[in-house]
Structure 1
């Protein structure tokens, strides 16, 4: 590890110049820690000692065969490229926003304070930086290719407003959302914007993720300085507005050095969107979807605590651990900021229990406590909104089939024996 220089030894600097290492085409060249450290030294020097122009920007020049890290230096800020030379003019506030946060993927961007289960963010430790103007911010979700997640998006918006956030709510959608659904989405607070689906050239063999590159469109919301993207299968339990103080890209870990794209802090950029489209055929996604693509494009992201995007899945190895997580799902006041529902979603099941118990492929995601927590949020909504969560005839047949198969498998949890009282069963 290279040490940071003694910045006090420098006077004001007109231009920061750095030679960046580039091990391409070696495997893993873009995860070279030394390469990251050179970027951080240059960026920190520019923030602390760089001369700012009238727009509040500092100048940096890099020489390298490889493009400088887009995690720190957006292509929007590239003013000139000549061969292996790259010149940037970067807003110093945006750059400071990134370098004041722990780089890489190991250390939490802002640890939760207090002991025990009721941990929360210490907002005083991560205040927003002073800006040239009022920052424009929004929560964003995306619906595409079907109307399956309309109910989830409605419940998500309700939960955001329930915890007191007044930020804009922007919903990107394609032609699969009908007018009555759009009215309901508007009524709950979303501002719908129509998009064209983006086809994934390398979807999974089972057909999943064929159009989930449509999520690229969140980077086109350039009327906002920063957005918090939320998947529509998430419910918010505590106010997440403090996430707008964190830099792009911030997310929770999925496994090892990879992040989960269900909750992301993003700085919109048309240039970044165009970069995605230029690389859409070349970048290999490890999971065949947007998450794998984003992890290749943003290597050195900032790690959020998992309570900001808590997965509804089997974590526990012991009964004690399971009880701990079950308690977290149901706690009042809430301990978790957001629950991310994997497997079949709560509104796709009868409310009586998590129907993932009835599926061999879903049992790893099954948790009744998390399931019931979602339904508590649903119960708070207006009756007109609840209509968007009705079960289709096809889905009711599916649920009955799942229960029949579970009974044949004689699963020991015996959820398949439960009496169904969900009124949607007969609607």
Structure 2
């Protein structure tokens, strides 16, 4: 039997040596714990975003406000409510619509009632039947067949039970959530500027308004509407812009139009310094599109819910620096925006696009690519149920 070497025999440890070892082990634990805490709190470490509770955000105090004046705009509000749902918006959703509409679906052709029910049940929209605001003393518009009722958007000021409301036009496409705008510094109203206009300072644009609801402001708007307004502005559907600029031109918090107010007409322009805000920046259509949160259709007289007349498409589409063959990023993006709108209109509203009109009958004088706001939608347009198509 092999005898164990001395280094293999049990070793006697004195009390002092054992105590020293225990102390060293304890301090090692302290050091490891301290390093772990420092790692947790180190500012460069990526952590999850603070919760709404941590930021004390009560989303029931905020809302998106949209309005429908006819069957066409009703569908377009549904497209926006769908986008808000897809982007995970947590604020309430409110829809103002004509008081003579109802949610009783009489038959399969009662599309307005069907869409109201869809908004209420699927997208949790709070329905608000109202008497539409109309510019007083005006006749029907020759082109759209409607009175200017885009001023109904100012009903958002009447929502006094909300701390802040985002009011949107319906002829837009949302590309991302706008919820961060609810946490802006306190201000009666925040808006982007209509950067496509020729004169400076650029006027405030009503396609996107972040407002503090106020009944007194609402009454002032109604009084201004009752005055009738400038005939030229009313016909151009700019009267709503005139109201807010007259009231808030010098006091509004200005939102950057990049990324909150991109125009489809921007992809048809050759000079982009107004949008970029920097004459030295190189235009990159794909970069601009990816960073945008909201796109407004402004290629008058083309509308995204009306099929393109072939001649109109040839004249209006981005010219790719003069090349009519092939394609370019501007043309691809521009066409995608229209195609996407039509597909969502078909899939969500079950409506096909309005047949293309005769181009010569609607094109009128040559339009600048950034002119026009196109707030009002043609009420007389015939919409076709996709299920019957």
Q: TM-score range by the shorter chain?
A: 0.5 to 0.7
Partner SS state of residue 287, structure 1? helix
Name the count of aligned residue pairs.
272
Q: TM-score, normalised by structure 2?
A: 0.58
* Match of residue 140 from structure 1: 65
Partner SS state of residue 259, structure 1? coil
Partner SS state of residue 272, structure 1? helix
Whether the 8 Å contact between 2:172 and 2:295 is mirrored in structure 1 is yes
What displacement does 1:197 show?
Answer: 1.4
Which residues of 2 match residues 14-413 of structure 1 at below 5 A?
136-144=61-69, 146-175=70-99, 178-186=112-120, 187-201=122-136, 203=138, 206=141, 210-246=148-184, 247-254=187-194, 255=197, 256-257=200-201, 258-282=203-227, 284=229, 287-288=233-234, 289-299=239-249, 300-306=251-257, 307-314=259-266, 317-318=269-270, 324=283, 326-328=285-287, 331=289, 334-342=290-298, 343=300, 344-349=302-307, 357=313, 369-373=333-337, 375-376=339-340, 379=343, 383=347, 385-387=348-350, 389-391=351-353, 395-396=354-355, 399-402=356-359
What displacement does 1:379 show?
Answer: 4.8
Q: TM-score, normalised by structure 1?
A: 0.53
In 2 relative to 1, CA 137–281 (structure 1 residues): closer, same or farther, beyond 3 Å?
A: same
What displacement does 1:149 show?
Answer: 1.5
What displacement does 1:136 show?
Answer: 0.6
What displacement does 1:240 show?
Answer: 1.0
In 2 relative to 1, CA 164–401 (structure 1 residues): closer, same or farther, beyond 3 Å?
A: same
Deviations 1:182-241 (A, max 9, x none): 123333443221110122136599466522222221111111110011111111112211
Measure, in 2, the Cα distance between the counterparts of 1:215 and 1:141.
7
Measure, in 1, the Cα distance between the counterparts of 2:271 and 2:247.
39
What displacement does 1:386 show?
Answer: 3.9
Whether the 8 Å contact between 2:171 and 2:296 is mirrored in structure 1 is yes
Larger RCO, structure (CA 8 Å, separation 6 or more): 2
The runs of 5 or more residues in structure 2 that have no matched partner are 1-48, 102-111, 276-281, 320-329, 364-384
The runs of 5 or more residues in structure 1 that have no matched partner are 1-122, 407-422
Whether the 8 Å contact between 1:235 and 1:374 is mirrored in structure 2 is no
What displacement does 1:251 show?
Answer: 0.8
Deviations 1:66-121 (A, max 9, x none): xxxxxxxxxxxxxxxxxxxxxxxxxxxxxxxxxxxxxxxxxxxxxxxxxxxxxxxx
RMSD of aligned alpha carbons? 4.3
Larger Rg: 1 or 2? Answer: 2
